Structure 1
Amino acid sequence: MKKYISLLLLLLSTTFFAQQKRLVTSIDTTKNKIGAEFKLTIKTDVDTLSKVVFPKLKNIGALEVIRSYPIDTVKNNDRYELIKKYGLTQFDSGKYSIPSVKIMINNKPYYSDSLKVEVANVVVDTLKQKMYDIKDIVPVENTIGDWWKYLLAIVIIAGIGALVYWFVKKQQKKKIEEEVYKTPIEKATNLLNSLEKKELWQKGEIKSYYSELTDIARNYIEEAIEIPAMESTTSELIAGLRAASVKKKMTVTQETIENLERVLKQADLVKFAKSKPVEYEITEDRNKIQKAILTLDNAIPVEVEIEEDTLLNEAQKQKQIQIQLKKKRNKRIAITVASVLFLLLATTAYFVATKGFTYVKDNVLGHPTKELLESEWVKSEYGNPGIVIETPKVLKRIDLTKSLPKNGMALIKEMNSFAYGSVLDNFYLLVSTYKYKQDSTAVDLKKSMEVSLQALESQGAQNMIVKQEDFQTPEGVTGIKGYGTFTRINEGTRSSEKLYYELLLFSQDGGLQQIMIFHEEGDLYANEISERVLNSVELKQVSK
């Protein structure tokens, strides 16, 4: 019985450990300084249908997760190797244990190995370490960008355009009545109707109501009877009206003139003595003004003239009014557009004179590589052996197996390629790493450079000029750099384009690391991007 139990326990333990073998746990170093990063790596090998979930963690044991790296996927035939990395740190010295991390594979839990790490104090020896003064404050980079300046300029120009439109419309409004109304009585009648629609006195604006009411009457008398009614006092107006009625042989009753005088005096009291007539008085005053205007108009002797305009019917008259209004509206729009265009041209001319045409073109019309340069850059690690590099955008994994010859693919054990853009674009960035099946201490970089350039030629590069020089990263990893120019036929325009390229190659651990950039020659923004990208290259020196 004991033998059976022992056998059963042995089988269970074997199954358990076999199950745990699906996860491989490693760490880049077991001893680090305070605040430095431990990079915990968890690998799992699964088939293409498996679902793997790595947890999102803020802490693993006593260590803080300062960065959760993207999952790297490596395809091996019909299986995938998933690689997940966590950046850990601790700000207190001591020895710590990194506990197991639970990984769900097809809804089943699997656990990584626990590891021991040590965090050491940073020893500062003032006798050996030179002391320096405190540095000045470093200005923070402007991450907001200049987009708000362009938005403000658009708002200001639109505001000026709206102001010009409003001003022109207001000026035209003063003249439109004279053009629309053919006679003073027609104008006065329409203005009285418009005044009633405003409902000023019903809203408590009695002073405004009486002011407009008497202005309509005064304006009619000045235009129809030709006396200076708008500039006269009430007494002067009534005296002038009596004299004009005699001169023009107008049949005007004493009652009509007295009613008009009474309303004008009532208006004076409202405007200057703050008098407030009641509702029925306001209605009576309005009726008196209307009746006085009609009576005066009927009393004016009229010479009958047969004109072509008097034969127009009402429909034709309204049509003419609409045509006039449309012309006025089109004129306002034309003046507004012309003003805005003038402002744009003046502003553009100023910036061209002070900043240059290229500056205006790139900042107003936009420039693709300028926008790329001013975007939020990211720093990531790609491939195996890893290449740490800073780029304007995250590089996307691509498959280059079809572009390589079959005899070349037979020598490759593992290949990872990541890119931004395509070989047909005017800016292209490629990061690739290769591991070969045959173990070798070094790869012939010059031969690899020739192969890479030949591959570029096979994709359309012509008239290639090649220069080479040694290149060394800040970590001391040496390689070679190829650079120069080539031409390419633009399939859309069938014209040739001249491009500038840079190619870096490194050989480590029997593999090859490659970084390639090309862009339009003379593109200053692309030159800045290339320089920043290549200056950021970090390669971990692989121990031999």
Structure 2
Amino acid sequence: MGKLIIVKRLFLLSLLGAVFFPLASLAQQVEVKASADTDRIRLGEQVQLRLTASVPQKGVNVVFPQVPDSFGHFEVVRRSALDTSIVSGTQLFGQTIVLTSFDSGRWDIPALKFEVMNGNVADSAFTGPLSIDVNTVTVDTTKAFKPIKAVRTVGWSFWDYWLYFAIGISVALIGVGLFIYFRSKPKKVAVAPPVPVTPPYEIALQQLQQLQEEKVWQQGDIKQYYTRLTDILRGYFEQQFNIPALEQTTEELLQHIKPVTILNQQRDKLRTLLSLADLAKFAKLAPTPEEHANAMVQAREIVEWTKPAAVKDTAAEGTEEARQPAK
């Protein structure tokens, strides 16, 4: 029974040794040090704190201590970047931290902690503390106080104010440029609203209405009546269907309207009207009053038939609504 207890204790000790021995050996492998370039400064002077770490084994990483900007009676002025070097197979890491103090006395820089890591194994190494004497400025009280010096007048120099001159000149040039630009910029002319364009069929119907109201044939001017009547239709054909109707004879016009389906549908009515007009203008035929009135009716029907389909549909709907009895 006693031997069993001894074996268990030896096994436990070996297990603890296997766990803690790598940590102890890891910390011993790294040598860390903190040193100062002086141990005595006056108020406001600076001291350089040098931190170094020596790592003889590859794969071991060292994390330098994070010194705060202010600690104890010291303030950090600046820090250098971490520098590395290799000497005889040993890696050397170093960093310089410049400190200052404005409190007189003997102050200690505490031990600083370095983190040492090798894979998943971590350990810590510490530097030794340092003491710095911060002394006040020695004043010789046996000498008389010197008077305060008068304010010195510094000579004016253009280069002390060149930036202000450059800004002022730039602003002035920009202002002049904007003034010239807006002064020479052409003013926008107000565009008059477009005048509504009267459709050709409306113009033709208005002209036919005017011709009827003037009672030209009633006054005996038969030729003038048919000339104006056919000119109104020909002008309407030119504007509505792009047919050079004013320059063509009756037969030429009838030939040219064939491709225009909606106009060709009135071919017989148009032929009758144009033939009657040619006889009245050139053969001195005297049509009857009924033929005069019927010519005007036919002209209106041709215009109404050939005007755009949308207009005809709208007009038809209006007529249908007017015919329906009020509810």
Which bin holds the TM-score, normalised by the shorter protein? 0.3 to 0.5
State the TM-score, normalizing by the size of structure 1. 0.26
Scaled by the length of structure 2, the TM-score of the pair is 0.40
Greater CA radius of gyration, 1 or 2? Answer: 2
Query: 1 or 2, which has the higher strand percentage?
Result: 1
Higher relative contact order (CA 8 A, sep 6+): 2
